[in-house]
Amino acid sequence: MKITYKNSQYSALTGETVLDTLLRHEVAVPYSCKAGVCNVCVMVGDHQEHSISATNGLKNTLVRQGYFRACQSITSQDIKLQDTENVSLFSPASVMEKDFLAPDVCRIRVRPATDLFYHAGQYLNIRMPNGEIRSYSLASLPTQDEYLEFHIRKMENGIVSSWLFDDLDVGQKLDIQGPFGDCFYLPENENGDILMIGTGTGLAPLVGILRDAISSGHNGRIQIYHGGRTEPDLYMHKPLLELSNTFKNFQYFPCLSKPSAPLEDTMFSSLASDLAFFNNENLKGSLVYLCGSPQMVKTARRKAYLLGADMKQIYVDPFITKNLRGGELETSLPASIGNDRRNRL
């Protein structure tokens, strides 16, 4: 059996784990417990044929992408290991459509120059001409949409978001890289109940996941709680209301924290997460998706876990707004780039 890593091939001895093969060849890879506990040695391979202990306990969406514990996998077939630190290249995409959904939110649809394999709910990095890079979640569905869709919220002093919101026109090009992230739908969960909570443009990946679930014929109940301050923040109100009328197993709960009276009778005066957990006191067996402000994601994650959700079934995408001293950087950056990778296992 051959193990390929960083352009070199290594032969595995019979019964030898991937990690042991690499270490025997004096390849420097991170590891710690060698017992399948610490997850330090997690790698990404080009197939998913591993012993159970190599993937047991990892999120299913990561296993699907080839993640496994090198210390627990005894190779039964050749495997190519991805260099997880290797950054994939940017490729061009051109803007097909641009609409304004709210005073501070626009929808941009782009066509990539080369086909992109992704799951609805993942995110891409967008690079603007001056080199600034930010991450944005995908709201499109690869099986139905020919375009990639992003919901961009214009941030105060936001370099990239202002460029996307104010300057970018139809026909122009931008560079994309990805996809990244493990917040997406898996068809094997078709009978599970899905609870989704999103604040602001955290709705974007949830819309993609919702459409993916519906088009996969999801049987379980699906709920989306979208939170904003005032009415314009609920920028997908009408289409989601229509979807909830069309599909019996989908319910949409638009929530406002500072509604201007009087409240439309389809809306709720509440924090999205408060109403979600009030309506769902037992989350055992449920799939939970949380996207948006890091504070909401953090508290809702703990709450969902304490209400019985399995930690592996809670998928999160915290939108981190960078605001470094000096006021330079900004916008919606999922926290999962680089060093944070292990924390999402």
Partner 1 sequence: MSGSLFDQIGGQPAVDAAVDIFYRKVLTDSSISDFFEDTDMDAQRDKQKSFLTMVMGGPNNYSGQDLRTAHAPLVEKGLNESHFMAVAGHLNATLKELNVPTNLIEEIMNIAGGTADDVLNR
The residue from 8, 48, 56, 266 that contacts partner 1 (CB under 8 A) is 56
Q: Which two tokens stand for residue 73?
A: 């996998």
Please, are residues 58 and 42 in contact by the beta-carbon 8 Å criterion?
A: yes
Q: Does 2 bind partner 1 (CB under 8 A)?
A: no
Compute the least distance from the CB of residue 209 to partner 1, in Å. 20
Nearer to partner 1, 35 or 170 (CB): 35
Task: Select the span of 34-42, 114-122, 152-160, 209-217 touching partner 1 (CB under 8 A).
Answer: 34-42
- Residue holding tokens 């960078």? 322
Q: Are strands 67-69 and 42-45 parallel, antiparallel or unpaired?
A: antiparallel
Q: Which is nearer to partner 1, 226 or 301 (CB)?
A: 301
CB 334 within 8 A of CB 180: yes
Q: How far is the CB of 35 from partner 1 (least distance, A)?
A: 4
- Between 35 and 87, CB nearer to partner 1: 35
Alpha helices in 8-150 (DSSP H): 18-24, 52-55, 60-64
CA distance 134 to 331: 7
36, 66, 227, 318: residue in contact with partner 1 (rule CB under 8 A): 36
CA 180/CA 234 separation, integer angstroms: 26
Among 215, 249, 305, 329, binds partner 1 (CB under 8 A): 305
Query: Between 145 and 310, whose beta carbon lies closer to partner 1?
Result: 310
β-strands 268-269, 173-180 pairing? unpaired
Ranges of H-type helices in the chain: 18-24, 52-55, 60-64, 159-162, 203-215, 237-246, 272-279, 294-306
- Separation CA 126–CA 128 (nearest Å): 7
Q: Which stretch binds partner 1 (CB under 8 A): 8-16, 115-123, 176-184, 305-313?
A: 305-313
Of 30-38, 104-112, 220-228, 236-244, which part binds partner 1 (CB under 8 A)? 30-38
Binding partner 1 (rule: CB under 8 A), the pick from 1, 44, 57, 96 is 57
| Token code pair at residue 17 | 């784990």
Under rule CB under 8 A, how many of the chain's residues touch partner 1?
Answer: 21
Residue placing its CB nearer to partner 1 in the complex, 12 or 309:
309
Whichever of 10 and 305 has its CB closer to partner 1, that residue is: 305
- Least Å from the CB of residue 33 to partner 1: 5
Answer for which of 35, 113, 170, 263 binds partner 1 (CB under 8 A) is 35
Write down the least CB distance from residue 37 to partner 1, Å. 5
Nearer to partner 1, 214 or 337 (CB): 337
DSSP states along 134-197: EEEE--S-TTT-SSEEEEEEPPTT-HHHHIIIII--TT-EEEEEEEE-S----GGGTTS-EEEE
Residue position matching structure tokens 């439309």 = 264
CA distance 38 to 1: 26
Q: Nearest to residue 183, comparing CAs of 175, 194, 172?
A: 194
CB neighbourhood size of 289 (10 A): 25
Tokens of 2: 């051959």
Rounded to a whole number of angstroms, the minimum distance from the CB of residue 273 to partner 1 is 16
Min dist CB 60 to partner 1, Å, is 15
Footprint (CB under 8 A) of partner 1, residues 307-326 = 310-311
181 lines the binding site for partner 1 (CB under 8 A): no
Binding letters toward partner 1, positions 265-304, x by CB under 8 A: ------------------------------------xx--
Binding site for partner 1 (CB under 8 A): 32-39, 53, 56-57, 301-302, 305-306, 310-311, 342-345
